């Protein structure tokens, strides 16, 4: 099937080039967006909005050394700048847990392991939702998404020492909430 462009002759970056550059990062960006927004649909909206914003900057993207960090920073900044739009209000909507989740971990768990993991994950997700925005963000960026504190200074523009303290307090708080 061929998509017919409504405005032929308008030049822009070729879609296959942009797709080749950004395509491999979409799943990871969605994962990060999901943890920031708390819902699949808001996360998809956030990623989609980022792609719309980046599409005209295709040539600039080719020159970036660490696209993984640059894209993560852009997504995070877009989320912060449009905070009210991308949820995290006192009332948030979440997926029903009976919908299949894709776990990053490989291997097939036993039914008991699966049930334990679902409950454990549920406690952690609830506890994450109870943290302050700053504490939740640092945990998502560092412990969930794996960015280093040095990389996160580029996201939040906070000094390294501040981020380290915040991470320590966030982890302590998360442990307290889970233990309750």
Partner 1 sequence: MKCNDIQQSIDDAIDGQLSQAQERAFDAHIATCAHCRENLNRAQALQETLRELPVPPLSDNFAERALRHAAQVNSASNRHRYFGAGFLSAAIAASAVFIALFLVQPQLFQADIPMVSMQMQEIRTVNLAFNSPVDIDAVTFSMQLPGNFELSGYSGMRKVTWTASLQKGRNVLSLPIIALGKGNGVMHAQIGHKDQIKSFRIRLRALGKGEINSRFHVSIKQLS
Nearest residue (CB) to partner 1, 64 versus 130: 130
Q: Does 125 bind partner 1 (CB under 8 A)?
A: yes
Interface residue with partner 1 among 64, 66, 119, 146 (CB under 8 A) is 146
Q: Could you tell me if 166 and 155 are in contact, meaning their C-beta atoms sit under 8 angstroms apart?
A: no
- Binding to partner 1 by CB under 8 A, coded x per residue (else -) over 75-104, reads ----------x-x-xxxxxxxxxxxxxxxx
Gap between the Cα atoms of 175 and 150, Å rounded: 24
Gap between the Cα atoms of 87 and 90, Å rounded: 9
Gap between the Cα atoms of 57 and 1, Å rounded: 28
- Binding to partner 1 by CB under 8 A, coded x per residue (else -) over 30-59, reads xx--xx--xxxxxxxx-xx--xx-xxx---
Q: Does 7 bind partner 1 (CB under 8 A)?
A: yes
Q: Could you tell me if 31 and 141 are in contact, meaning their C-beta atoms sit under 8 angstroms apart?
A: no
Interface residue with partner 1 among 77, 144, 154, 162 (CB under 8 A) is 144
Nearest residue (CB) to partner 1, 44 versus 134: 44
Q: How many residues bind partner 1 (CB under 8 A)?
A: 72
The nearest distance, CB 4 to partner 1, in angstroms, is 7
Quote the DSSP letter at residue 63. T
Gap between the Cα atoms of 179 and 136, Å rounded: 17
């Amino acid at each position: 099937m061929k998509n017919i462009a409504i405005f032929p002759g308008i030049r822009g970056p070729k879609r296959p080039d942009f797709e080749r550059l950004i395509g491999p990062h979409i799943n990871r960006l969605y994962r990060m967006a999901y943890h920031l927004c708390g819902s699949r649909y808001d996360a998809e909206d956030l990623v989609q909005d980022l792609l719309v914003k980046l599409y005209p900057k295709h040539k600039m993207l080719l020159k970036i050394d660490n696209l993984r960090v640059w894209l993560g920073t852009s997504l995070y900044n877009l989320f912060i700048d449009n905070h009210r739009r991308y949820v995290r209000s006192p009332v948030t909507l979440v997926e029903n847990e009976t919908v299949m989740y894709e776990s990053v971990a490989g291997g097939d768990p036993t039914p008991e392991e699966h049930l334990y993991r679902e409950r454990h994950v549920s406690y952690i997700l609830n506890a994450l939702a109870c943290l302050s925005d700053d504490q939740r963000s640092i945990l998502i960026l560092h412990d969930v998404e794996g960015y280093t504190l040095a990389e996160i200074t580029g996201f939040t523009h906070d000094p390294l020492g501040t981020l380290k303290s915040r991470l320590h307090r966030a982890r302590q708080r998360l442990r307290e909430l889970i233990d309750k």
